Amino acid sequence: MLFGMPIKNGRRVIPSQFFNTLLCLLVLTLTGTVAYAEQAPLTLANALSRTVAQNPTLQVFDFRLQGLEGRRFTADQNPALEAGLEVENVLGSGNRQGSDAAEYTLSLSSVLELGGKREARVSVVDSRYALVEAERQAETLDVLGQVAQRFVATLALQEKLELAADAVALTEATHEIVTRRADRGAAPQAEVMRARAALTRSRIEQSRVLSEYESRKIALASL
């Protein structure tokens, strides 16, 4: 078992190791941010907190734990009372035959449990609860690790996109200068063609990086 998860008064007691691990991830918050159109820049800390709060896979564990809390409450109850009704002399007898001489007996009964059966039932539910809680924590750490990895990859592509934009601006300026020189007869047309080819390559590279960057943002948002 990855983490021990006791139950106290029907509520989860979260071990300090789990929070320490989450704190270590939050400390890794980068100075850079991922830009989203018409939204505030996304930091790593925000990405991690949103994942914990909204990731569908992690939310499933909350429902499972709530269900086990209900089962624990039921297991901790005494056996239910059973009501019984006994009717005698419905038709009467002797001189009272045909009269309303019926006798009714109402009884309540319950099973008296011995040998710690109730404690055993609760212990089984507690064990299942601890297992699901450990699974939830392991899944949380795995998902947060994916978030951090995808965030760093997206941030790196964002930097590459800025460099690609600078490269396009530089080749555009170079192409413009060479074209003006060629118009004055100070540069051959071959130089203009080389500058135009360089501009085309830089624009293609910019489009490629932009496409990969958008894909990375979608992959990050999916978590």
Six token digits for residue 194: 């080389």
**Domain total for the chain?**
2
Angstrom distance (rounded) from CA 37 to CA 39: 5
Closest CA to 10 of 93, 92, 89, 67: 67
Q: 200 in a domain, yes or no?
A: yes
Return the residue matching tokens 């170079």: 174
pLDDT digits (tens, 9 = 90+) for 177-192: 999 998 888 889 999 9
Sign of the Cα pseudo-torsion (58, 62, 65, 67, in order): negative
Full residue range of the structural domain in which residue 163 is found: 7-78+113-221
E runs forming strands in 57-203: 82-88, 103-109
pLDDT reported for residue 173: 95
Domain of 188, CATH number, reads: 1.20.1600.10
pLDDT value for 186? 84
Instruction: Tell me whether residue 1 is in a domain.
Output: no
Q: What is the CA radius of gyration of the chain?
A: 36
DSSP state letter for 89: -
Determine the Cα–Cα distance for residues 28 and 216; give it in Å rounded to an integer: 20
State pLDDT tens for residues 44-74.
Answer: 888 898 898 889 888 888 888 888 888 888 7
**Residue 88 bridge partners (DSSP):** 103
Four-point Cα dihedral 112, 117, 119, 124, nearest 10: -140
In a domain, 146, yes or no: yes
Q: What is the pLDDT of residue 32?
A: 62
148-161: average pLDDT: 92
pLDDT band for 31, please (50, 70, 90 cuts).
low
Is 107 exposed, middle or buried, given 0-12, 13-18 or 19+ CB atoms closer than 10 A? exposed
How confident is the model over 26-32, as a mean pLDDT? 50
Q: Report pTM.
A: 0.61
Provide the token pair at 174. 């170079």
Asked, for residue 203, whether it belongs to a domain, the answer is yes
CA distance 99 to 95: 9
pLDDT > 90? residue 202: yes
In a shared domain, residues 96 and 179: no
25 vs 43: CA distance, rounded Å: 13
Residues 99, 117, single domain; the answer is: no
